[in-house]
Chains A and B, each alone.
Chain A
Amino acid sequence: MNDNPLIALAGYFALLSLFAVGGANAAIPEMHRIAVEVMHWMSDRQFADSFAISQVSPGPNIIIVTLIGYHVAGLAGAAVATAAMCGPTCVLAFLVARTWDRFKEARWRIAIQAGLVPVSLGLIAASAFVLARSADHNIYAAAITAITAIVGFATRINPLWIFAVGGALGLSGWL
């Protein structure tokens, strides 16, 4: 138990970042557990709202930690939580990338790299599937998903306009 919320934020998110294998979305349940149930930083509703804001914002979804930090301790909290969530893993990523590039020709490195690619692809495909199942709960939403998939795969058109159409349709209550 710490009296200073900034120290609690920094310690908790730094720790979480090093154990969060599988990206931002995999870490959401654990963040919810800590922020709502253990630390009582925010209510269930406030957490859900923060999640919605982070999803609607552009950029990496991990930006939800900025919102949690802001909620707990204002701008300083936002800065501390974000730095804690990104700092340790970025240092690790940098060191690994350096080592990785140094052993470019090593057989073990080539085997690990070639072995990780198909696992990675399968996991990304799985998250697309899980996302589709929760997002496409009616025919209009499914149509938006299908159109974006086709435009994104088959053309070089910037798909951002479909996001705007989707957002507008959603706001109007069609989805």
Chain B
Amino acid sequence: MSASTAPSSTAIRPKLSELFRAFVIISLSGFGGALPWARRMIVEQRNWMTAEEFNEAFALSQFLPGPNVVNFSVVFGSRFGGAPGAAVALAGLMGPPLIIVTILAFLYSRYGDVEALGRILTGITAAATGLLIAVVAKMATPLFRKRWDWAPLIAIAAFVGVAIMQWPLPLVFAVLAPISVACAWMTR
């Protein structure tokens, strides 16, 4: 698990204005979920984090209560710019869709053809699903590339528990997280 201790100081440190712009772009591209776009921007385009660092920061955001990507913007922003960084990343993420959705709500209350919207949504969801599959494959690469160990087994167990067995997510988490942390503790 040497990768998890790699310092993030090797990465380029973004300025506040860059941070804001990056999260505006993530937000405006993020149809059907912002996670793939956040990874694309942060890991692939700006090199602000390595694949492993992104996985860790996102995992942390996911296990905090509340919206994952919103948490991620705060975790990421505070790491690179303290409280102002967190505020700027959050504002970039939430500002544009707040304005757009309010306009849409107004238009809907006036004209309200949501049937057409539903059909557009079908197509967008199909594409968003593909993008989510791609990001899962990318995030899994560092995990599965290592020599055979416990981590892929835990990932597969979590997947099977929620997707196939359809057990409640908090239950799966409550069982697997302690096992996984214990494995990490012992194998370090």
Contact indicator per residue, chain B 136-147, by CB within 8 Å of chain A (1) or not (0) = 111110010000
Within 8 A of B (CB), among A94-110: 94, 96-98, 100-101, 104-105, 107-108, 110
A-B contact count (CB 8 A): 380
B100 touches A110 (CB 8 A): no
Contact indicator per residue, chain B 141-168, by CB within 8 Å of chain A (1) or not (0) = 0010000001110111111011100000
6 contacts between A and B (CB under 8 A): A57-B97, A59-B100, A86-B90, A96-B60, A110-B188, A156-B44
Binding site for A on B (CB under 8 A): 1, 4-5, 7, 27-36, 44, 55-56, 58-71, 74-75, 78-79, 83, 86, 90, 93-94, 96-98, 100-102, 104-105, 108, 112, 114, 116-140, 143, 150-152, 154-159, 161-163, 169-170, 172-173, 176-177, 180-185, 188
A58 touches B127 (CB 8 A): no
A23 lies within 8 A of chain B by Cβ? yes
Pick from B36, B118, B123, B140 the residue with the most CB of A within 10 Å: B123
With a CB–CB cut-off of 8 A, which chain A residues contact B169? 21-22, 26, 123
Contact indicator per residue, chain A 11-26, by CB within 8 Å of chain B (1) or not (0) = 0000001111111101
- Expressed in whole angstroms, the Cα–Cα distance for A96 and B56 within the complex equals 13
Select which of B65, B116, B126, B176 is within 8 A of A145 by beta carbon.
B126
Binding site for B on A (CB under 8 A): 17-24, 26, 49-50, 52-63, 66-67, 70-71, 75, 78, 82, 85-86, 88-90, 92-94, 96-98, 100-101, 104-105, 107-108, 110-132, 134-136, 141-142, 144-153, 156, 158-160, 162-163, 165-173, 175
- Expressed in whole angstroms, the Cα–Cα distance for A132 and B182 within the complex equals 32
B188 touches A128 (CB 8 A): no
With a CB–CB cut-off of 8 A, which chain A residues contact B105? 50, 53, 66-67, 70-71, 78
B102 touches A125 (CB 8 A): no
B interface secondary structure, majority: helix
With a CB–CB cut-off of 8 A, which chain B residues contact A108? 185
With a CB–CB cut-off of 8 A, which chain A residues contact B127? 144-145, 148, 159, 162-163, 165-166
A interface secondary structure, majority: helix
Select which of A57, A119, A128 is within 8 A of B59 by beta carbon.
A119
Select which of B59, B65, B125, B138 is within 8 A of A18 by beta carbon.
B65
With a CB–CB cut-off of 8 A, which chain A residues contact B159? 122-123, 125-126, 129
Given the interface pairs A90-B70, A135-B129, the reply to whether A120 lies near B34 with Cβ below 8 Å is no
Give the distance to chain B from A26, nearest Cβ to Cβ, in Å.
Answer: 6
- Expressed in whole angstroms, the Cα–Cα distance for A118 and B7 within the complex equals 20
With a CB–CB cut-off of 8 A, which chain A residues contact B177? 115-116, 119
With a CB–CB cut-off of 8 A, which chain B residues contact A116? 56, 59-60, 62-63, 177, 180-181
A120 touches B74 (CB 8 A): no
Given the interface pairs A67-B105, A111-B188, the reply to whether A96 lies near B129 with Cβ below 8 Å is no
A57 touches B100 (CB 8 A): yes
With a CB–CB cut-off of 8 A, which chain B residues contact A114? 1, 4, 56, 151, 181, 184, 188
A124 touches B94 (CB 8 A): no
